[in-house]
Every structure is written in C-alpha cells, then in structure tokens.
Amino acid sequence: MHRKTFIAAGLLFAGAVHAAVPPEQAAALGTTLTPIGAEQAGNADGSIPAWTGGLTEVHPDFQSGGHYPDPYADDEPLYVIDAGNAEQYADTLSPGQIALLQRYPTWRMKVYPSRRSAAYPQGIYDETKLNATRVQLVEGGNGFAGATGGIAFPIPQSGVEAIWNHMTTYKGDMYSTRWAQAAVTAGGNYNLVRFDYEYDFIYGNQQRKPEERQEDLLFYFLQLVLDPPRLSGSILLVHEYANQVKNPRQAWTYNPGQRRVRLAPSVAYDNPGTAADGLRTNDDFSMFNGATDRYDWKLVGKQELHIPYNAYRISSPDLKIRDVLQAGHVNPEHARYEKHRVWVVEANLREGTSHLYKKRRFYLDEDSWVIHVQDKYDNRDQLWRVDELHTTMFYDVPFLATGLEVKHDLQSGRYLAMSIRNEETKIYQPIRRTPADFSPAALRDKGVR
C-alpha cells in the first residue's frame, strides 16, 4: 500500500494552554491563506484548484427555504474508484474508505472536478481574523476563551484546536429544517424516522452583534419526532456549551404519553443517539460534537483526500429515498466525490476514561473545517465504523451545510443514514424565536400526539 504523505508535523495536545498566534502569522489570513485558514493556492498537479471566494451566487431556480438546485449539474466524472483500483488511489483514501471498497464490491466512488465552493459571510471572516491573535484554549483544552463567532483557531497548533474549528464553523443563524433517518439492515430494509428541528445558533449568529452573544454558549436546538406514530410528539431540547466540563450539556425530553418534561442527563459521549438502533453515539452527530475531555488529540497533518462534496444530487427532490438507500451502502450512482486537502486529527482514548471508540481519526476539509470522513476503532484496535458526510453549499446564506450523513458498521454490514431530505420540502427556513421558546417550559406546548 502507498504511504500517505502528511504536510504538517504531528502535534499532541497534552493539557497545556495554547496561546493565540502572533500578528505576523495571522497576517497570512486573506492572503496566502483563505479567510478561515485554508491554503489559497491549488495543489501542484492542478487537481485541486485555487480558492477564489467559494460559491455565493444563488441558482436562478432556487426558492427560499426549499431545495438547493445543483450549480454543477453539468459536471462529468473524471474517474471512478472501486475495489479493483483502490490501491492506485490509496494515498488519497482513508483506511475506512478502503475498507468499504473491499467489503462491498458494489460500492464505488465517482470522482468529479474539485470545486472549492465553501464560503461564509464577511462577518465570519472578520471575526476569524480577530480570533487568530486573541483566542486561547481553557485549561485541559475543554473549551476556549475570547470568541463568540468565527473559526476559533484558523491557524491551529494542536489537534483539539482543529476539532474546535469543526464545532465553531458557521452553521447559519436561526432556522427550521426537516429530515429523515434510516437504520438500514444488511439486507437493505429500513424504517424511517422523521424529525423537525429548530436551531438557534448563538455562536457566530450574524443577526446578533458579537457583544450580544453569550460567550461559551454555542446553540439551542429542539428535535421533534414526526414519524413513526409510536415516537411521534417526542421532543428533545438541548442547550449546548463549548466547555462541557465546566458547563455540561443541558438536555430535556418531553414524552407525549406521560405529558412530562424530564431532564436527560445521558445525551452525551457514547450514549446511543435518538432512534439510531445503536449505530451512532451522541457525540458523533454531525460527525463530532460535545465534550472533548475523554481523548488526547493529535494534529497529524494535512493530506489530499477524496471526500463527498457538492453533493446536491444525492439529496435532490428528483430522487425518492428508495433511490438512495441500498443494501450495504447508499446508491453510488448519485454520490459525488472530489479531491480536497484535509486536516487529519487523531483522537486516542485518554487513560482513566471510557468510550465505545478507543481511537478516532477525523478528516476535516480545509476550506470549511467540517469533518467529512471519520474512521472509528474499537477496544481491540480494529477498524469498526466509518462515517462520511455529503455536504452542499447553502449559497444564499452562505455556509457549507450538512447533507446526507452516513455511518457504516463494517462488522454488522449495517449503516445509518441521517439528514435524508429528498422527500422533504423545508430545507433551511429562517424563523423568529426567543430564548423562552427554547426553554423546558415550552416543551409541553409543542408536544403533539
């Protein structure tokens, strides 16, 4: 197998508090680096182009709140990676991706021209520039101080800083969305669970001035189960903080049968995710979220990787869910892969703690800091699960948004598909809410059986 080449040396976070970078280093942002810290230039062979501002032009067929028409619909695949030629591309695949190709002869990766479409509001760029010289990790790396918006560490010095970048990437302001989830059996059968979400992203909210945001508070969200009938009306409310050692995640549930609101202390770490049939943990929703204190984080470096990107087709309303979900994996005919540069971060379970995953390796797109691929290892050091995130640009906002999130279990042959939007109509619908709407007292009023 080819040996992967990493561009940066490995850096391990072992508990020290890292300072912000000096002004002369931060000056690279917006010049040789993009406003959030990616290399602005393309790669040596031209297969990754230069970043020129990303995709902010709204498609003429786009209707606010609805699906996003594909601006790259005319692109043709450059090549296809499958089990037969995976060795040829091993330098640009993760071990988990190679394992998927080897396990499923029907799986393949159609690779398209690389489009560096990631873009964010100017306010995010401005705050990121300031963050480079002022934001510091708090003790233990369990949070950070000095920012209420923007990428926290655009020039990261450690693995945990890069992970904080993933969790502080701009995700929109206040909006509602709907999507479905399916735990797919090895034979391809599944039952859908549908959710309605309401988000208020406090951190980085462009409708609030920086001084109007609360430091350490990231977001509120409400998760309402719409289907199936036996779960319909169940609600989860979360108040999410950055430093969850100091301010643990606050969560409440509403049970429509009992019409009671209860504290939900187990919505964290490796406790099972909602209606996921054991195929995901709470802290791998959106690839990773929550507290960082159970792992030692190593910044391995940067490499080129084939990742799902500009995945408008696989979430298109022109497809039905049955067109997307198949036995073993999603339908490769509709998935789009591109070659991008990624930061590689390795998390190893900290001594004296516990988690289902002994080791995790994350691959973060340099243009967005969003984790696109994750390889997860069990306590026997065996590769166990592989996650891929198929992202799209919400070009009217703008931000690089979570699309179809797929979590493969290599041992059982099952997978979990999340954020399935093909048959939904509400994709990003701005809403107006107050903090009281995200309070435990509001849950009972929202409960519908």
pLDDT, tens digit, 9 for 90 and up, residues 139-178 = 899 999 999 999 999 999 999 999 999 999 999 999 999 9
Residues 160-177, buried b or exposed e (16+ Cβ, 10 A)?
Answer: bbbbbbbbbbbbbbbbbb
What does the pLDDT average to over 120-132?
A: 98
- In the numeric block, which tokens belong to residue 245? 């050692």
Q: Could you tell me the pLDDT band of residue 4, with boundaries at 50, 70 and 90?
A: low
Contact between residue 301 and residue 10 where contact means Cβ atoms under 8 Å apart: yes
What does the pLDDT average to over 297-316?
A: 98
Q: CA 210 → CA 146, 149, 404, distances in Å? A: 11, 7, 31
> Looking at residue 257, what is its pLDDT?
86
pTM above 0.85, yes or no: yes
What does the pLDDT average to over 216-226?
A: 96
> Looking at residue 37, what is its pLDDT?
98
> pLDDT tens digits for 318-339?
999 999 999 999 999 999 999 9
Contact between residue 85 and residue 364 where contact means Cβ atoms under 8 Å apart: no
Residue 9 confidence (pLDDT) above 60 = no
What does the pLDDT average to over 345-354?
A: 97
What does the pLDDT average to over 121-147?
A: 96
What does the pLDDT average to over 356-383?
A: 98
Query: How far is Cα of residue 111 from the mean position of the Cα atoms in its chain?
Result: 21
Smallest CA-to-CA distance from 413 within 191, 186, 95, 99 is with 186
Q: Which residues pair with 407 in a beta bridge?
A: 387, 416
Q: Could you tell me the pLDDT band of residue 18, with boundaries at 50, 70 and 90?
A: low
